[in-house]
A and B are shown apart, each in its own frame.
Chain A
Amino acid sequence: MNKKAIISFVSGFLNSYTLVFFSKNKLFGFILLLVSFFDIYTGITGIISVMITNAFAMLLGLNLKKISSGLYGFNALLVGLGMGIAIQPSVAFYIILIFITLATLLLTLASEGVIGKYALPYLSIPFLISIWVAIIATRSYTGLESGESGIFTMNTMFIRGGPVLVDLYNWFNDLNWPIYVKTYFRSLGAIIFQYHLLAGLLIAVGLLLYSRIAFLFSVIGFTCAWLFYVVIGADIHELDYSFIGFNHILTAIAIGSFFTIASKWSMLWIVLITPVVSMLITASVQIFGIYQLPVYSLPFNSVVLMFLYSLKFRERMTTKPEIVSIQHFSPEKNLYATINSNERFRGMLYFPLTLPYFGFRYVAQAYNGDITHKDEWQHALDFVIKDENGKEFEKQGLSLNDYYCYNKPVLAPADGWIQDLVNHVEDNEPGITNMEQNWGNSVVIKHSENLYSKVSHLKKESILFPKGAFVQRGQVIAYSGNSGRSPFPHLHFQVQVNPYIGSSTIAYPISQYISLNGKYKLNLYNTPLKEEIIENIQPDNSLVKAFRFISGQTINFIINDKDKWHWEVKTDSYKNIYLYCPKTKSTAWLKTDGNLFYFTHFQGNRKSALYYFFLVTYQVPLGYYPDLQVNDVFPPTVLPYSSLRLLQDFIASFNIFIRPVFSLRFLKRQEDMAGNTILINSKVNFRCLRYTFLNIDSQIILNDSGLYQITINNEGRKEIYKFSKQD
C-alpha cells in the first residue's frame, strides 16, 4: 500500500467516529473512541468494524478521499457498536461481524447510489438495515449469546473495571441532577450505545468542542421534545428511554445546523418538526415491537430525509432556512462562510454580463422605466452619451450625426452565439419613432441555455456577424443607431430567457461596473439605476500585472530589508488558485477575473506575512479610478479564536457581531507607458466594546513590474515587504 492509502486509512478511522455527529474534529473523534471503550468489548468491536469496512473499501477500490473522510466507516461503526453491546464476544461473533460489516458497506454504497441521486445524504440508513438484518439473523445462530452488558450493567462493569468503575458509575447515577439534564446526557451517550451519564457528559464536552452551534441545537431539540411531552401529557419516562431522546437531538443538529445554515428559521423548523419526530418514534416503536426490533435512529433518518427533500420544492423562502451548498463539516464554518459569501459574492451565481459599450454612458431609462420599460419588458436599460452640459447632441441635434450615441460600437456583453438578428430597418430621423418595427435593428445573443441578451435600435446594416456566429465578450458586434421605437439614438439592452426578438425581459445584474456620481463607485452584480453614469472597469496594466498569479510562479520578497521570504502560486484540482507560504504552511485562496481581484479564504499562521497580505489586499479592483473606495467584510473566522468568538458562536444564528471590515482606496497614480505606478491605501479594522482586535493600515505600491512594496502598520508595528521584480 502506498503512503496516500495509509493516510486515507488512518484518517478514515477517526473520521468514522466523528461523522456520527457530522463532524471531522479529531479531538471529538478521540473522545468518542474513548467513550466507546467504556464497554471494552464494544469498543473493540467498533474498532474492528471500522477497520474492516475501510479495508473492504480499499479492496473494492473506492474513492480514497471518501474513505479518508469516514463516509464508508461510520455506518459500520454503528453496526459494530450495536452488535458489540448486544452479543457476547466469541469467535463466531467476530466471523459474523466481518460479514455484517461487508453487508453494511454494500448497503452504504447502494444508499449512496439511490439516495445520492436526489442530492440527499444517506445518514445512518445502511446501519439500520444492517443491524436489523443482523439481529434477526443472529436469533437463529445458536452459537451466539446475548450480551449482558446492556442488561446487567453493574455486573459487567465490575468484571471489566473493578470497584472503581462501579463507584464512579454509581456516583454519576446518584447525582441529584434534574431528570431533564440527566436524560439529555443519557440520550447523548445512547448515540454510541453508552446509556449512562458519564458517556453523555464526555460526548457533550466533545460536541461543545466541535461546535457550539451544534451543541446549542442539541439542547434546543431535546428541550422542545421535553416540552412537547409535558404539554401533551405523555409519559416523560418514555423520553427517558434513551433511543427516543437521541433521535430528537440528532434531528435538531442535522436540520437545524448541519444541512441548513443555523438561523432563527432553522430553529423555527426544529420547533415545528419535533412533534412529528415524536409521533414517528411512538408509532415506529409499536410497529417494530411486533418483530422485537429496536427502532434505533429510524425516526431521525426518515424525518431528516423528508425535510431536506421538501426544501428542494421551495419556490420562495429559499434562504429561510438556507441549504448548505459547500459542506465544511462544521455548523460554524458553514454559517460564517455562507453569510460572508452571501454578503461578498451575492451575485457569483449569475452569469457575468458586462456593459455593451466603451466608455461612460448615462442610463436614460432603467428597470421599470416611465417611458417604455414596462410590464413584461420592464427589465431593460437604455444608454445614451451626454456631454458636460447634459446634452445628448451637438449643434441643434437636427441630424442623427449630431448625436453622440449614434454610430458608436456596440459590444457583446459576454461570450455567446448570435441567435437572431434584424438588420434592415431604416434609422429614424431625430424625433420620429417607428412603431411598426418596434425593436428596430436588433441582435439576440445566446449565452447559455435560457440566457439571452438583446441590444436594439441599432444602425441599419451595421451588424457585423451572421446568425450562429460566435462572439466574444467585448467584441464589436454592431453600431448603435436610431431604428424602431427610438426617437433619439440610444442603446437598448435587456436580458431574456427566450431566444426571440420581442421576448419578455428578466432582471439580471451587470457583473462589475463603475458608476460616477461626483465620485467613482464600484458596483458588483448590481443593477444600474436611472440617471447613473456608468462604465465597465477599465483594467490598468500595472494592477492587472500585480495581481495576476499564475500557477507555478514564485513570489519573492524581503521583510524589513533582511528576511528573505517566498510564496508559491498553486492550483488545486478544482482550479482554485492559492498562495502558499512554505515557511509558515499557510494558504490563501484567491480569485481574479481580469477586472477584480479578491481573496476568498485563509488558512494557517495568523502571524505570517501571507496572512497580512490576505488582509490588506482582500479585494482590489483592477482598474484605477481616483479616490475610488472599496469596502468589504471578513467572516469572524478571520480572527484567532477567543472568548468573544465563543460568544459569537452561541448567538451566530441570530446575529454576527464580529465583523472585521476592509476598506481600500486608490490614492495616486503616476502614468507611464511602460506601466503606471499606483499608490493604494487599505485598512482592516475590528473594534468591539472599546477593545481593538484588528487595526491595520497599509500602503501598497505597484509599478510596471507588478507588486513593488507593501508597508503594513499593525497597531504601531511597522513591516515593509519589498517584492522582487515579477516577470
Chain B
Amino acid sequence: MEKKQYERPHIIKLNTGMPAKFGMMNDSFLMTHIEGIPVKDLINEHGSPLFVISEQVIRNTFRKAYKAFNTRYPKVQFAWSYKTNYLTAVSNIFHQEGAWAEVVSGFEYDKAIANGIDPKKIIFNGPGKSEEELITAANNGSLIHIDHPDELYQLINLAEATLQKPKVAIRVNMDTGIYPMWDRFGFNYENGQAWDALNKIMNSGKLELMGLHTHIGTFIMSANAYGIAAAKLAELTVGLYTKYNHTIKYLDLGGGFASKNTLKGSYLPGSDTNPGFDDYAEAISTALLNSPIKPENLPILVLETGRALIDDAAWLISSVIGNKRLPSGRRATIIDAGVNILFTSFWYQHQITPAQGHSQYREDTSLYGPLCMNIDCIRESVNLPQLNKGDKLVIHNVGAYNITQWMQFITLRPRVVLIDKDSQIRIIREREKLDNIQMQEQVPESLILHSDSVVFP
C-alpha cells in the first residue's frame, strides 16, 4: 500500500444552514493517470513541466466532429488550423484522418509543405501574405483566401506570371448577431464590399474563384450565428450562379467553435454550457440544405476549426515549487508552469486537478507560475486540496494555442510528449537548451567578455 499523503493540520469554519444551490464548486477530482500512464512516471521520465498529448483523443474527437457534419451534410472537408498547434506529429495525425491544412503565414505554409501535405490541399488565409508567398501558393495550386482589396489587385497583377490561374476565395465578414463582429478581416457582406470583390474577380478573368470564406469570430458560444453566416454565404453562392453561371466549389465556414474550456468570467463550466459539434453542424447544414442552392450544386463544406479539435487532447503537468500564505489570508501555491508556456491562462479558467491522493479538505488557492513577473498567475482562485512541495498538478484542455504561442521568457520551454495509439510515449518536441537560444545570437567581437578574474600566481 502506498504511503498516505501528509497534510498539515487545518481548522475549518463551520457553516450552518442550507448549502448553496449548486453545492460547493469542486473541480478538483483526482487525475493520477493520463491515458493509463501514471503522471508520476511521466514527470520522472520527461521532467517537469511537461506537455502530454493523446493521439487517441485527437482521433476520437476528429471522428466525432466529422461524424457530426457528415451525417448531416453530404460533402464535408476539414482543414487543420496550423496556428492552433503546428507540431508536425499533431498536424500529421489530422492529415492522416483526412484533414487538409489551413495556414495563415508563409512560415506555416512552408511548415505544412514540410509536413508532407499536398500543396493543393492547403488553404492560405490571413491578411499578411508577401508577394513571393502569393506567387508560390498560386504556382502550387493552393487555395488563396483574399483578405483585402490590395491583396486582390496584387493577385490579379501577379496572375499574368503564375504557372496556373491562381485559385482563390474571398473572405467575407458579416453581421451574424454576435458581439464582437469581426470586421477587420475580409470584405463586408452587408455593405456590398463582398459583391464588389466578387465582381472584380469574375470580370478580371484572371483568377479562378473556387470558394467563399467567412470566420465570424472565436470561441463562439452561439451555434445560430453559424447558421446565419452559412445562409449569407449561400446567398452569395446563388447570386454568383445567377449572375455569372459560376458554381462555387466550396464554402469555408472557418473555425471559432468553442472547446470545453471555461472562459474567464463564466458562471458555469464550459463543458456544460458550450455548444458541441452537433450544435454547430446542425445550424450550418440546416442553413445550407434549406438554402436556394440547387442540390446538385451543393458546395463542399470546409471547416477550419482548430481549438475544439485539439484542446482536450493535451494536458500540462506541473510540480509544486512551494506554498505560502498571502497577507489577505489567501493561500498561494507556486508551480513550475508559468504563463510563458500557458498563454491560454489569460483567457480561460483552466481546470486543474491534483495527481495524487488527498483528503476532503479544499481551500481557495491562487496558483502562480515560476516567473519573476506579476502577471504570471495561472488561476487567481482555484479550489484545491493542500499541496506539498513536489506534488503534481494536471492542467486540462491546453491543446490549442499554447504550443504555438508559448515563449521563451525567463525560462526555457519544456518537452512535449505524445501518447500514441498503442499507449507508447513518444517525444514529439525536445525541451529547449541554452544552445537553442544562443545559436540564433551573434555577438560583436567587442562585446565578448573576457574573464577578468585575477589569477594569482
What residues of chain A have their CB less than 8 Å away from a CB belonging to chain B? 357-359, 385, 387-388, 394, 401, 404, 407-409, 472, 474-476, 538, 670-674
Contacts and interface: CB of A to CB of B under 8 A. Distances in A.
Interface stretch (B9-17, B69-77, B154-162, B331-339): B69-77
Contacts of A385: 67, 71
Contacts of A409: 71-72, 285, 289
Interface string B273-300: 0000010001001000110000100001
Contacts of A407: 278, 282
A404 B67 contact: yes
Contact of B208 (A358, A472, A671, A674): A674
Contacts of A401: 278
B415 interface: no
A687 to B, nearest CB: 40
A476 B289 contact: yes
A358 B285 CA distance: 11
A261 to B, nearest CB: 39
B64 A394 contact: yes
Contacts of A674: 120, 141, 167, 208, 210, 249
Nearest to B210: A673
A477 to B, nearest CB: 11
Contacts of B120: 670-674
B147 to A, nearest CB: 19
B24 to A, nearest CB: 24
A560 to B, nearest CB: 27
A257 B205 CA distance: 63
B118 interface: yes
B421 to A, nearest CB: 11
Given A387-B67, A474-B295, 9 more contacts: A387-B63, A387-B64, A388-B60, A394-B64, A409-B72, A409-B289, A476-B289, A538-B74, A673-B211
B358 interface: no
B250 interface: yes
Which among A472, A475, A670, A672 has the greatest number of chain B C-beta atoms within 10 A?
Answer: A672
Which among B67, B285, B300 has the greatest number of chain A C-beta atoms within 10 A?
Answer: B67
A401 B121 CA distance: 34
Contacts of B174: none
Contacts of B64: 387, 394
Contacts of B146: none
B70 A359 contact: yes
B143 interface: yes
Nearest to B68: A404
B249 A670 contact: no
* 3 shortest interchain CB distances as A-B pairs: A672-B120, A359-B70, A359-B71
Interface residues of B, number: 29
Contacts, number: 60
Contact of B295 (A475, A538, A673): A475
A10 to B, nearest CB: 47
Nearest to A406: B278
B289 A673 contact: no
Contacts of B278: 401, 407
A205 B2 CA distance: 102
Given A472-B295, A673-B211, A674-B210, A388 B143 contact: no
Contact of A673 (B73, B74, B249, B290): B249
B167 A673 contact: yes
Contacts of A358: 70-74
Contacts of A359: 67, 70-71, 74
7 contacts: A358-B71, A475-B295, A670-B120, A671-B118, A671-B121, A672-B141, A673-B249
B273 to A, nearest CB: 14
Nearest to B169: A673
Given A385-B67, A387-B64, A409-B285, A670 B74 contact: no
Contact of A538 (B72, B75, B289): B75
B71 A404 contact: yes
A476 B72 CA distance: 9
Interface string B169-195: 000000000000000000000000000
A673 B67 contact: no
A407 B210 CA distance: 32
A408 B295 contact: no
A673 B208 CA distance: 11
A674 B248 CA distance: 10
Which among A358, A394, A474, A673 has the greatest number of chain B C-beta atoms within 10 A?
Answer: A673
A247 B100 CA distance: 75
A359 B73 CA distance: 8
A408 B278 CA distance: 10
Contacts of A538: 74-75
Which among B74, B118, B167, B250 has the greatest number of chain A C-beta atoms within 10 A?
Answer: B74
Contacts of B250: 673
Contact of A670 (B118, B143, B210, B290): B118
Nearest to A474: B295
B63 A388 contact: yes
A407 B279 CA distance: 10
Contacts of B282: 407
Contact of B71 (A357, A388, A670, A671): A357
A388 B141 CA distance: 35
A476 B300 CA distance: 17
Contacts of A387: 63-64, 67
Contacts of B74: 358-359, 538
Contacts of A404: 67, 71
Contacts of A474: 295
B72 A673 contact: no
Nearest to A408: B71
Interface in B16-63: 60, 63
Nearest to B119: A672
A672 B278 CA distance: 27
A538 B77 CA distance: 14
A358 B73 CA distance: 6
Nearest to A476: B289
Contacts of B118: 670-672
Interface string B108-124: 00000000001011000
Contacts of B121: 671-672
A253 B304 CA distance: 70
A404 B121 CA distance: 29
Contacts of B300: 673
A409 B298 CA distance: 16
Contacts of B71: 357-359, 385, 404, 408-409
A413 to B, nearest CB: 14
Interface in B227-249: 249
Which among A385, A472, A674 has the greatest number of chain B C-beta atoms within 10 A?
Answer: A674
Contacts of B67: 359, 385, 387, 404
A671 B249 CA distance: 13
A104 to B, nearest CB: 55
Interface in B130-150: 141, 143
A393 B63 CA distance: 13
Interface in B69-125: 70-75, 100, 118, 120-121
B220 to A, nearest CB: 20
Contact of A408 (B72, B75, B211, B290): B72
A404 B210 CA distance: 32
A358 B295 CA distance: 13
Nearest to A541: B249
Contacts of A388: 60, 63
A61 B391 CA distance: 104
Contacts of B211: 673
A388 B62 CA distance: 12
A541 to B, nearest CB: 8
B125 to A, nearest CB: 14
A411 to B, nearest CB: 9
A701 to B, nearest CB: 16
A3 B64 CA distance: 69
Contacts of B75: 538
A229 to B, nearest CB: 67
Contacts of B249: 673-674
